[in-house]
Structure 1
Amino acid sequence: MNVTIYHNPDCGTSRNTLALIRHAGIEPTIVEYLQKPFGREQLIKLLDEAMLRPREALREKGTPYAELGLDGAGVTDAMIIDAMLEHPILVNRPFVVSPLGTRLCRPSEVVLDILPPVTKPFIKEDGEVVIDIDGRRAR
């Protein structure tokens, strides 16, 4: 199965998502989007496939969100896309693309919706159980 993760290695959610993909026996294509930023068409396609409006994929914490005035009235989707292209850190992460769909994987276990069934136990790096010893999703 071909899977692509738009990854930020400094993000715990992104690291956990990558670990879940690998736990499913898949070695994904890893795109570190802060090093290799999105093109306009690529970002729009990713948002469309994930069925998200730009604001729904906009990261506020640790970004220039407020400084750019993205929290103000009258901010359009086009303005958000432009800001995301200029400042890729504004794109929330991680996005994962698989033949089963595209998701913004927050929380990381959302990725399980677009992977083959995983029944082996999995625990996040912070100790949270995602798949229990009986192979069931913990949530």
Structure 2
Amino acid sequence: MSIAIYHNPACGTSRNTLAMIRNAGIEPQIIEYLSVPPTRAELQHMIRQAGLTVRQAIREKDTPYAELGLDNLDLTDNQLLDAMLAHPILINRPFVITELGVRLCRPSEVVLDILPAPQQGAFIKEDGEVMIDANGRRVDG
């Protein structure tokens, strides 16, 4: 089974998502998209497969979003994609690709919907939130 995560190791959500993939016994392909950004076609495909609009896939926080005027609703998808490719920090993260689908894993537990293997044990997010119990079952908070 092939799984890829577009990962930013400085992001807690991305680290939690990667840890849940590994908690299922899977070592994914890790793409640190800030240094190895997706191609335009790859980015468009991920956004489309995740059921998002281009605007929904843009990260606003801690990015040049405002400085670049990306809040202008008249901008086209192509203009937004151009900005995301020129400034990969604008690509929201983490995107995860599995045989069961593509998701923008915000919050991180969204990844559980597309993992082809169950969780193998307890998992606690970095902030202390219990996500998975000792039996590998999701805990509803």
What TM-score bracket applies, with the shorter chain setting the length?
A: over 0.9
Residues 119 and 131 in structure 1, CA contact (< 8 A), matched pair in contact too: no
Aligned to 1:14: 14
Aligned to 2:58: 58
Give the superposition deviation at 1:73.
Answer: 3.0
**How many residues are treated as equivalent by the alignment?**
139
1:137 and 2:102 matched: no
Q: Distance in 2 between matches of 1:95 and 1:121?
A: 23
Residues 23 and 120 in structure 2, CA contact (< 8 A), matched pair in contact too: no
Q: Distance in 1 between matches of 2:25 and 2:125?
A: 16
Spell out, residue by residue over 1:119-138, the C-alpha distance to the aligned partner (whole angstroms, 9 max, x if none).
52110112111112354322
Aligned to 2:26: 26
1:87 and 2:93 matched: no
Q: Distance in 2 between matches of 1:123 and 1:112?
A: 14
Aligned to 2:109: 109
Q: Distance in 1 between matches of 2:73 and 2:95?
A: 27
Matching residue's letter, 1:72: N
Greater shift in the superposed pair: 34-43 or 112-121: 112-121
SS at the partner of 2:66? coil
Q: Distance in 1 between matches of 2:107 and 2:73?
A: 28
TM-score for both structures, normalised by structure 1? 0.95
Correspondences of 1:41-80 after superposition (within 5 Å) = 41-80=41-80
1:128 and 2:129 matched: yes
Q: Runs of 5+ in structure 2 lacking a partner? A: none
SS at the partner of 1:31? strand
Q: Distance in 1 between matches of 2:121 and 2:70?
A: 42
Give the superposition deviation at 1:33.
Answer: 0.3
Matching residue's letter, 1:128: E
Q: Distance in 2 between matches of 1:73 and 1:133?
A: 46
**C-alpha RMSD over aligned residues:** 1.2
Determine what percentage of the aligned residue pairs are the same residue: 64
Q: Distance in 2 between matches of 1:133 and 1:18?
A: 19
Matching residue's letter, 1:63: T
